[in-house]
């Protein structure tokens, strides 16, 4: 009887001992991804900060100024030898597929046609090709008629002419696909159509090199501009190539957000880690601009210098560098 009890007790202890490492490993495995998810959320928040800044002052590293009263504002600006234009996350300006006039010299009128004309019906909705900020909205009686110019973070400016009605105003921030006007024939136009131009620093680029209206698609993921409109296309992406140039793709941003949405029944044991992850999701960031100090940044976000310094593990007298990322909540 005693031997049987000893055997059973020994077996139970052995099984428990063997199970403990597995349980420990399981707990560690369930805890470990939290740090990864928190870093992913930080990346999402930082990426959103960059995106917002790029929309408020798009392609600021490329353009010397922001003018709202004329189109050709960069005549004396030196063009970059090479500039990579991101064509992803686009929207076709119109669902119409018929190009009625292409880019190039028009012998009949003895002038250069600086964009392409796409057939349209009066009142058709025209949309912004990319995220961006509206730079010009005006009426030109002898030229574009009702015209909208949008500057985009990818470096392009897109011009939309002959609207019957403008739907945006200068300074508006738009997303790819935002309605910006209704098709018409205002200005110098012989029929209802969309006149569409693409420029970089005022330099014309044939829109057909970037947009395929017949197939309602862009011609590649990137266009490498190399002066005077000449350039090279870089091909279509695959799902494994959604992250490029250190950017967090929208799909990955959504996935990161989804990963920090914990199911309470599955993660009840780990409420502290879940709270930390949710806190990371709500963290806000500030990108240091020229002339800013800890004091000015703290004042801007309504916190104390001490709290701002503590959140970033720096001294209250620390010198900041332009482009530095600071957490402020």
CATH number of the CATH domain containing 192:
2.70.70.10
Per-residue pLDDT, 217: 95
- The SS3 assignment for 238 reads coil
Over 70: is that where the pLDDT of 297 sits?
A: yes
pLDDT for 254 equals 41
Whether residue 48 is contained in a domain is answered as no
Q: What pLDDT score was predicted for residue 134?
A: 97
Query: How does DSSP classify residue 83?
Result: E
Res 269 pLDDT > 50: no
Residue 126 lies in a domain: yes
Q: Which of 4, 199, 214 is nearest to 119 (CA)?
A: 214
Percentage of the chain surpassing pLDDT 90? 36
Residue 34: is its pLDDT beyond 90? no
Q: Which long-range contacts (CB under 8 A, 24 or more apart) does 148-151 make?
A: 148/180, 148/181, 149/71, 150/174, 150/180, 151/58, 151/59, 151/63, 151/66
* Angle subtended at Cα 193 by Cα 190 and Cα 198, rounded to the nearest 5 degrees: 115
Query: Which range has highest mean pLDDT (14-18, 288-292, 295-299)?
Result: 295-299
Asked, for residue 144, whether it belongs to a domain, the answer is yes
Confidence band (pLDDT; 50, 70, 90) for 298?
confident
Residue 73, domain member (yes or no): no
> How many domains, the chain?
1
Q: Across all residues in the chain, what is the average pLDDT? A: 76
- Give mean pLDDT, residues 223-241: 60
Of the candidates 283, 244, 251, the one whose C-alpha atom is nearest the C-alpha of residue 45 is 283
Instruction: Give a yes or no: residue 207 inside a domain.
Output: yes
3-state secondary structure of 181: strand
Q: What letter would DSSP give residue 240?
A: G
Confirm whether 64 is domain-assigned.
no
Domain range for 173 is: 83-237
- For the purposes of burial, counting CB atoms within 10 Å of the CB of 23, is it exposed (0-12), middle (13-18) or buried (19 or more)? exposed
pLDDT class of 299 with cuts at 50, 70, 90:
confident
Residue 33 pLDDT greater than 70, yes or no: no
Q: Is 162 helix (H, G, I), strand (E, B) or coil?
A: strand
Q: Are 163 and 147 in contact (CB under 8 A)?
A: yes
Give the pLDDT of residue 240. Answer: 33
> Which of 135-139, 230-234, 278-282 is modeled with the greatest confidence?
135-139
Residue 42 belongs to a domain: no
pTM above 0.85, yes or no: no
CA R_g for the chain: 28
Task: Tell me if 123 sits within 8 A of 164, measured CB to CB.
Answer: yes
**Cα 17–Cα 271–Cα 38 angle in degrees, nearest 5:** 100
Given this model, what pLDDT does residue 264 score? 38
24 or 151: which leads in pLDDT? 151
Q: How many other β-carbons are positioned within 10 Å of the β-carbon of residue 256?
A: 22
- Is the Cβ–Cβ distance between 270 and 30 less than 8 Å? yes
Burial of residue 89 (CB within 10 Å: 0-12, 13-18, 19+) is: middle
Q: Are the CB atoms for 187 and 143 separated by under 8 Å? A: yes
pLDDT in the model for residue 199? 92
Token pair of 170 as six digits: 């200068």
Distance CA(234)–CA(254), nearest Å, equals 26
Q: Is residue 102 part of a domain?
A: yes
- Minimum mean pLDDT among 27-36, 81-90, 166-175, 320-329: which range? 27-36
Average pLDDT over residues 279-306: 78
Backbone angles phi, psi at 237, to 5 degrees: -85, 160
Rounded to whole angstroms, the Cα distance separating 180 from 128 reads: 6
Q: Is the pLDDT of residue 15 over 80?
A: no
So what's the pLDDT on residue 26? 57
> How large a percentage of the chain has pLDDT more than 70?
64
Tokens 């009263």 sit at which residue?
69
Instruction: Write out the H or E segment, with its range, that includes residue 31.
Output: helix 2-31
pLDDT at 301: 85
Q: What are phi and psi of 61, to 5 degrees?
A: -75, -15
């Amino acid at each position: 009887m005693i031997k049987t009890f000893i055997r059973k007790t020994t077996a139970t202890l052995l099984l428990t001992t063997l199970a403990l490492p597995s349980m420990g490993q399981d707990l560690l495995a369930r805890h470990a991804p939290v740090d990864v998810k928190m870093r992913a959320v930080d990346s999402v928040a930082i990426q959103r900060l960059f995106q917002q800044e790029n929309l408020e002052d798009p392609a600021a590293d490329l353009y010397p100024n922001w003018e709202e009263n004329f189109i050709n504002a960069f005549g004396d600006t030196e063009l970059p030898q090479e500039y990579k234009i991101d064509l992803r996350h686009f929207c076709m300006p119109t669902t119409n597929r018929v190009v009625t006039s292409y880019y190039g010299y028009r012998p009949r009128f003895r002038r250069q046609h600086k964009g392409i004309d796409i057939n349209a019906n009066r009142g058709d909705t025209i949309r912004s090709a990319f995220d961006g900020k509206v730079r010009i909205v005006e009426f030109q009686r002898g030229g574009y008629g009702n015209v909208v110019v949008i500057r985009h973070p990818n470096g392009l400016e897109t011009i939309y002419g002959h609207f019957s009605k403008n739907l945006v105003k200068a300074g508006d921030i738009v997303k790819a696909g935002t309605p910006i006007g209704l098709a018409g024939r205002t200005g110098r136009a012989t029929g209802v159509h969309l006149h569409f131009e693409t420029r970089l620093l005022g330099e014309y680029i044939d829109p057909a090199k970037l947009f395929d209206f017949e197939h309602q698609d862009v011609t590649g993921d990137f266009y490498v501009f190399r002066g005077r409109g000449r350039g090279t296309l870089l091909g279509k992406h695959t799902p494994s190539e959604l992250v490029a140039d250190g950017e967090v793709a929208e799909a990955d941003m959504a996935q990161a957000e989804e990963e920090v949405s914990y199911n309470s029944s599955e993660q009840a044991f780990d409420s502290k880690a879940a709270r930390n992850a949710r806190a990371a999701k709500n963290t806000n960031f500030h990108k240091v601009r020229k002339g800013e100090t800890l004091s000015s940044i703290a004042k801007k976000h309504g916190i104390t210098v001490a709290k701002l310094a503590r959140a970033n593990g720096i001294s209250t007298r620390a010198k900041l560098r332009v482009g530095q990322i600071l957490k402020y909540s």
